[in-house]
Structure 1
């Protein structure tokens, strides 16, 4: 008689390389539980289908690391906020940028879509909360009250309230129509990282770094209960869809809680480390975590988890006393949200003392939208998820079968499930097909297929132009030159100013190149500096930085004043080049400079030594000037902050 196969309660589903650099944020689509959006230090937002190895779509436009992402409930819109304070909204079905929203003065820490109206709420490190009308690109309200960064925002299920959690240890509840705070919930003793509304009742849950979860009654505006003793900071919580329990993503475990009275129903061991987000699909809980450039997904079979009752199964020996549940758990203890049958009306404007603000779209916003792109990386998955228009609702991935669990006694299967996938390097996107109502499908594995009707393009086509404007239907070698000319004329349309800038830059680079061919690096750099165009200096330094042997002491005296300008530039690439050059100079020449300046004066005449001493003094003076700038920027967060902190340490010997 065959032994029945025992399946797991929780297992690792997949690990992918999500970005070319570190992952900085991620979120699961709550509608399907199978759509994943990731934001990275490479300034991209990538879209994935859970348990599939290839990126569906890559969204570009941000110029600084993406700090926060959020999908709306139908999973047709995505919003992403960056380290610089800018917000971008993309339409996933149309594969294009929808809106650029500017106004915050610091990192975007939290975002949420209104459940009915076309509004987005944003919370920032500048302590402000803003409500945006994405139809008009305007800020409808600005809510002030928090004293530190706003880490989480959630709209109530009926769309009337907004809950906010912040590093100032408080949770606040805002009335959207009145534009003011309804109540403040104190009690946490650490930064509050997450808030979630109960799906039906007037109940709010908040999780904090103080290792507690608090439940708040939204009728009486008081605490209902408090779960204490979490194994670490609480960063992700999720109510069961029917509201029977709350899931908490803890360090390497999932905990299931009730709140009246507070009790732990179950603890499931999951080796997911610090889980970043949770979602539910087909009676399975999906958890995602990230480390550096990798993202891992995990599954918990909720049919094997205790979610109600008095019995607590705790494999880590939780010895807290078991409390009895309410007499009639099916009867709600509080009011139930009344959800409108149609979309909610636009929030009303309030008087001037409501601290609201309004702004109109600018030409800068329009330019940002033109520079933003939605690049389809996997046409087959994209068409399957976003393109069907003739059905009442998108079928996949919403109605997909549950993720199968690997058998516990099959080590090979479990090992395969944990093995990282060979996901593509999104920094170099593969060619994608033109977005059409019924585009050709690209197979993921080699198979005899008919050739596509058009030649695949390397990037998504510009909005308003067809691929046929750029590429011929059939490759004809003798017409290649004519096609290039046609393509260039199309590209130049509407970009006269940019063409003038690029032509001037090309002319300047030709001038520098002519000097470079003589082999005199110092004179080449001098000519680039004399042109007074930082973009040319950046291009030249990017070449010199690749070969450290090209650097000499006299070259440093010319480059250091330019580095100071680059470090103060608003362009991220200029700052990065300046940091790289400064690091090379410090590593190669700072010991020489300090030794020369500390050495006793020489006896007699030594012209070469005098020249070298003069250059060292000049470099020292320039480095001292730069050190104050480096110190002021070392407090920044993110990638550049760590770079400036490293430079600050290297420059410590100057003092």
Structure 2
């Protein structure tokens, strides 16, 4: 008799390079558990399908790092808040910017979509909570009461309440219709990082940096129970869809809790580090974590996890039911939310506790929305997931079968599944000769697909680009097949030339990498400059910009002339890299340069001091040359204008 294959309870699914710089926020789509949105220090929002290596869509428009992102329940809208306090809403199905919302004075720390109405709540480091009507681009209400940054916001399942968690150790509950605070829940002794409503009952869970999870009764407004002894700060919690238990994403483990009485049903070891968000689909829990520019996804098979004492049949796991003393979870202990059948009514404005912040759309707003773009990176995945609105129904593929678990004893297979193939080492993005360097994205070759089934209905025709789309309209319909062939031949015309250019750049990057392995950063930069290929310099600076400790004064003398070239480039990403490098140099070395140049001459001969003085003079001369260019570009609008204005202020001491 064959021995049954034993599979893992938890495993790593994939690791991707999500942004060109550090990832600053991410969120999973809760309806599907298969859609992932990431925000980065590169001011972009990137959209991914879990377990696929390529970015679906990249959203631009923010001019400062994206601090918070959130998908709405149908996963067709996304909202992102930035470090500067601006908020942007995109329509993913239409692939366009929907709204730009301005009003906060500091970082946007938390966002949430109303479950029924077209409203968005935002919490900021300025301690304010704002409710926005995204149809009219206006602030409906401002809630004030927290004394520190608002870290998490959640609407109740019926859409009538809003829960907020903040660094001031408190959780507050707001009545949207009345426009006032209903209750405050004190008790935590550290910043509260996350709150979640029970999916059915009047119950709220909150997780804090004090390593506790507290459960609050929303009828009696009092604590139900408190779970202590978490291995670290609580950053992510999630109720099971049927409300039987709460999952807590701890450091390198998943814990399953009940609250009446408080107890831990199960602990599953998962090497996900500091997991940032959780979602459930097909009896699998998906967890995502980020570190620097990388995002990793993990899967836990919930059929092998104890939840209120019930666990699936498992030939190798002998678990004892733990919920014999507990009440039947199907019989609610509290009042149940009543979901409205229509969209919610607009929250009332209370004169004594609100401010009129509605603004008419201005030309500045229109310009912001013109400069914000939704760039489709993967047409096939985009078309598959975000089907057009005139189709019969939106059936995203992420609702399909569960992720297959690797065999428990086959670590090689698990790694192979988790890590897509890459053309080059992650540190050096794949070369592209004419298009400026974009965020490095791992690639894999798709498996060949069979011919799709023929569906005669016109509205079910596949959406996407055909070869004939690249050519002028043809008058003779009988020649359609020939037109496609002609189109393909035209597309292939530059293929050989492109391959030659890519091969050349690949060789150049290999040369720089060989020097890099010696550990001499200055020599690596010199070799990149000597190649006279600005794209290679950009690739190298994108690495150096992520680690300021690698920079030395003599490196600045080599880099500054290249920065001047980048700032004058026609490529957006070249200009962005140049601004980042110049900002780093100004912050780290400009005070040193000005101090050394202002110091009185030394007595005697000090060779090392003379060398340092020579380098400072050279850097000062180069910076003075660049300052005129920065000043001339500081009047630009959009992201670049903002970056150049910041650089102009930093360079003020040169005058």
The alpha-carbon deviation at position 506 of structure 1 amounts to: 32
CA contact (8 A) 1:377 1:431 kept: no
CA contact (8 A) 1:560 1:623 kept: yes
The alpha-carbon deviation at position 326 of structure 1 amounts to: 3.3
Q: Which moved more, 1:396-405 or 1:76-85?
A: 396-405
CA contact (8 A) 2:437 2:574 kept: no
The alpha-carbon deviation at position 239 of structure 1 amounts to: 0.2
CA contact (8 A) 1:470 1:486 kept: no
CA contact (8 A) 2:283 2:302 kept: yes
The alpha-carbon deviation at position 393 of structure 1 amounts to: 3.3
CA contact (8 A) 2:280 2:286 kept: yes
CA contact (8 A) 2:438 2:573 kept: no
The alpha-carbon deviation at position 235 of structure 1 amounts to: 0.4
CA contact (8 A) 1:378 1:432 kept: no
CA distance in 2, matches of 1:494, 1:364: 41
CA contact (8 A) 1:262 1:323 kept: no
- The alpha-carbon distance between structure 1 residues 20 and 180, as it changes in their structure 2 partners (threshold 3 A), is same
CA distance in 1, matches of 2:504, 2:435: 35
The alpha-carbon deviation at position 54 of structure 1 amounts to: 1.2
- The alpha-carbon distance between structure 1 residues 383 and 354, as it changes in their structure 2 partners (threshold 3 A), is same
CA contact (8 A) 1:470 1:487 kept: yes
The alpha-carbon deviation at position 362 of structure 1 amounts to: 1.7
The alpha-carbon deviation at position 348 of structure 1 amounts to: 2.3
CA contact (8 A) 2:196 2:205 kept: yes
Counterpart residue number, 1:402: 402
SS in 2 for 1:248: strand
Unaligned runs of 5+ in 2: none
SS in 1 for 2:79: strand
CA distance in 1, matches of 2:267, 2:478: 70
- The alpha-carbon distance between structure 1 residues 487 and 129, as it changes in their structure 2 partners (threshold 3 A), is farther
- The alpha-carbon distance between structure 1 residues 653 and 19, as it changes in their structure 2 partners (threshold 3 A), is closer
- The alpha-carbon distance between structure 1 residues 606 and 49, as it changes in their structure 2 partners (threshold 3 A), is closer
CA contact (8 A) 1:85 1:106 kept: yes
CA deviation profile, 1:149-193 (whole Å, cap 9, x unmatched): 111000000000000000111000000011111111010011100
SS in 2 for 1:89: strand
The alpha-carbon deviation at position 327 of structure 1 amounts to: 3.7
CA deviation profile, 1:385-412 (whole Å, cap 9, x unmatched): 1115465532222530011101112232
SS in 2 for 1:459: helix
The alpha-carbon deviation at position 354 of structure 1 amounts to: 3.6
The alpha-carbon deviation at position 371 of structure 1 amounts to: 0.9
CA contact (8 A) 1:373 1:460 kept: no
CA distance in 2, matches of 1:617, 1:431: 36
CA deviation profile, 1:582-631 (whole Å, cap 9, x unmatched): 78978999899789779886999999999999999999999999999999
Unaligned runs of 5+ in 1: none
Q: Which moved more, 1:580-589 or 1:638-647?
A: 638-647
CA RMSD after TM alignment: 10.9
CA distance in 1, matches of 2:267, 2:543: 56
CA distance in 2, matches of 1:244, 1:594: 64
SS in 1 for 2:248: strand
CA deviation profile, 1:371-392 (whole Å, cap 9, x unmatched): 1111111111111111154655
Q: Which moved more, 1:490-499 or 1:66-75?
A: 490-499
CA deviation profile, 1:307-329 (whole Å, cap 9, x unmatched): 01399999999999989643443
SS in 1 for 2:458: coil
- Superposition pairs of residues 343-354 of structure 1, within 5 angstroms: 343-354=343-354
Counterpart residue number, 2:268: 268
CA contact (8 A) 2:287 2:299 kept: yes
Counterpart residue number, 1:189: 189
CA contact (8 A) 1:454 1:473 kept: no
CA contact (8 A) 2:20 2:438 kept: no
- The alpha-carbon distance between structure 1 residues 495 and 166, as it changes in their structure 2 partners (threshold 3 A), is farther
SS in 1 for 2:152: strand
CA deviation profile, 1:107-152 (whole Å, cap 9, x unmatched): 1110000000000000011111000000000000011111111110
- The alpha-carbon distance between structure 1 residues 642 and 341, as it changes in their structure 2 partners (threshold 3 A), is closer
- The alpha-carbon distance between structure 1 residues 137 and 570, as it changes in their structure 2 partners (threshold 3 A), is farther
CA distance in 1, matches of 2:440, 2:554: 59
- The alpha-carbon distance between structure 1 residues 641 and 231, as it changes in their structure 2 partners (threshold 3 A), is farther
CA distance in 2, matches of 1:141, 1:499: 57
CA distance in 2, matches of 1:324, 1:332: 17
- The alpha-carbon distance between structure 1 residues 287 and 495, as it changes in their structure 2 partners (threshold 3 A), is closer
| Total equivalences in the alignment | 655
Q: Which moved more, 1:431-440 or 1:463-472?
A: 431-440
- The alpha-carbon distance between structure 1 residues 335 and 493, as it changes in their structure 2 partners (threshold 3 A), is farther
Counterpart residue number, 2:107: 107
CA distance in 2, matches of 1:108, 1:90: 17
The alpha-carbon deviation at position 81 of structure 1 amounts to: 0.6
- The alpha-carbon distance between structure 1 residues 70 and 505, as it changes in their structure 2 partners (threshold 3 A), is same
CA contact (8 A) 2:212 2:226 kept: yes
CA distance in 2, matches of 1:301, 1:359: 48
SS in 1 for 2:540: helix
CA contact (8 A) 2:437 2:538 kept: no
Counterpart residue number, 2:436: 436
CA contact (8 A) 1:431 1:459 kept: no
- The alpha-carbon distance between structure 1 residues 621 and 11, as it changes in their structure 2 partners (threshold 3 A), is closer
- The alpha-carbon distance between structure 1 residues 368 and 244, as it changes in their structure 2 partners (threshold 3 A), is same
Are 1:555 and 2:545 matched, yes or no? no
The alpha-carbon deviation at position 33 of structure 1 amounts to: 0.8
CA distance in 1, matches of 2:539, 2:419: 40
- The alpha-carbon distance between structure 1 residues 574 and 267, as it changes in their structure 2 partners (threshold 3 A), is same
The alpha-carbon deviation at position 22 of structure 1 amounts to: 1.2
- The alpha-carbon distance between structure 1 residues 556 and 90, as it changes in their structure 2 partners (threshold 3 A), is closer
CA contact (8 A) 2:436 2:574 kept: no
- The alpha-carbon distance between structure 1 residues 602 and 122, as it changes in their structure 2 partners (threshold 3 A), is closer
Q: Which moved more, 1:621-630 or 1:303-312?
A: 621-630
CA distance in 1, matches of 2:377, 2:156: 35
Q: Which moved more, 1:555-564 or 1:523-532?
A: 523-532
CA distance in 2, matches of 1:59, 1:493: 31
CA distance in 2, matches of 1:566, 1:435: 14
Counterpart residue number, 2:83: 83
CA deviation profile, 1:452-483 (whole Å, cap 9, x unmatched): 99999999999999999998569999999999
Counterpart residue number, 1:338: 338
SS in 2 for 1:130: strand
The alpha-carbon deviation at position 267 of structure 1 amounts to: 0.5
Counterpart residue number, 1:134: 134
SS in 2 for 1:37: strand
The alpha-carbon deviation at position 640 of structure 1 amounts to: 15
CA contact (8 A) 1:267 1:315 kept: no
